[in-house]
Amino acid sequence: MSTTAIPVICLDGPSGVGKGTICLAVAGHLGWHILDSGSLYRITALQFSRLFPDMAANAVDEAQLVEMASNLSVSYRQINNELVIMLNEEDITQLIRSEKMGEKASQIAVIPSVREALLARQRAFLQAPGLVADGRDMGTVVFPESVLKIYLTASPEERAKRRYKQLKDKGIDVNLSALVEELRVRDDRDMNRKAAPLKPASDAIIIDTSTLNIEQVTDEVMHWVDQRV
């Protein structure tokens, strides 16, 4: 089915900008499906680190990685404003959210054949009445014909502060300057890779969320939804 038949809203942007939360809120308002594309890279990273502990992504046989990404047995359940992710029979929702898995996912996402292997799987999320998709290349590569493309941005310092607060609230001890540095490294890799680098689509609306809370960002996105969808 063509991507114009069922509407897609793309939410792209760097790590820690709040795409996932906004994606769930917007999909909740509209009663649409969601695609958390980063989770697919994170799940591939999780499988990879279980099969090849201590091995760097670029040291492993690419064909093995591609086969792994192609054969993931994953299922998603959208329960109220939460996404529950199952790998085989295992609930991996929390497991894939670690900084370590984000970093590994970013390393794996550099490999063009892995991205290619995950492309059809991402497009298969497109179901009526509509899809809100979040990631890095939703508007540029995965759903270029989407009806609305939003690019969310915020400074690394602001994103790190938000992440710091989230982790502290969970009782996890972290260092703010280490978080800023990790985000910078990840931004740099995601923005400068050859395959589908993170960048706003030429027709994307850019929203700087640095001084906005979640409700304000959701309102701003919904304003554009009302105009375009």
Contact status: 42 vs ligand DC (CB under 6 A)? yes
Indicate the residue among 31 and 72 with the shorter CB distance to ligand DC.
72
Q: Which stretch binds ligand DC (CB under 6 A): 22-30, 103-111, 123-131, 147-155?
A: 103-111
Contact status: 104 vs ligand DC (CB under 6 A)? no
Contact status: 15 vs ligand DC (CB under 6 A)? yes
Q: How far is the CB of 135 from ligand DC (least distance, A)?
A: 3
Gyration radius from the chain CA atoms: 17
12 within 8 A of 150, measured Cβ to Cβ: yes
Q: DSSP readout, 164-175?
A: HHHHHHTT----
Contact status: 182 vs ligand DC (CB under 6 A)? no
Contact status: 137 vs ligand DC (CB under 6 A)? yes
Q: Give the HSE-up count for residue 12: Cα atoms under 13 Å, Cβ half-sphere.
A: 29
Indicate the residue among 38 and 130 with the shorter CB distance to ligand DC.
38
Indicate the residue among 130 and 134 with the shorter CB distance to ligand DC.
134
Member of 8, 114, 136, 180 binding ligand DC (CB under 6 A): 136
Using Cβ positions, the residue closest to ligand DC within the complex turns out to be 38
The Cα 110–Cα 194 span in angstroms is 7
Indicate the residue among 28 and 112 with the shorter CB distance to ligand DC.
112
The Cα 146–Cα 51 span in angstroms is 36
Q: How far is the CB of 90 from ligand DC (least distance, A)?
A: 18
57 within 8 A of 111, measured Cβ to Cβ: yes
Indicate the residue among 31 and 46 with the shorter CB distance to ligand DC.
46
Contact status: 135 vs ligand DC (CB under 6 A)? yes
Q: Closest by alpha carbon to 72, among 53, 35, 44, 108?
A: 44
Q: DSSP readout, 64-91?
A: HHHHHHHT--EEEEEETTEEEEEETTEE
Q: Which stretch binds ligand DC (CB under 6 A): 85-93, 100-108, 162-170, 174-182?
A: 100-108
Contact status: 106 vs ligand DC (CB under 6 A)? yes
Contact status: 105 vs ligand DC (CB under 6 A)? yes
87 within 8 A of 43, measured Cβ to Cβ: yes
Residue 130 CB contacts under 8 Å (≥ 6 apart), including other chains: 6, 7, 8, 9, 30, 32, 33, 229
Chain residues binding ligand DC by CB under 6 A are 15, 37-38, 41-42, 102, 105-106, 109, 135-137, 186, 190
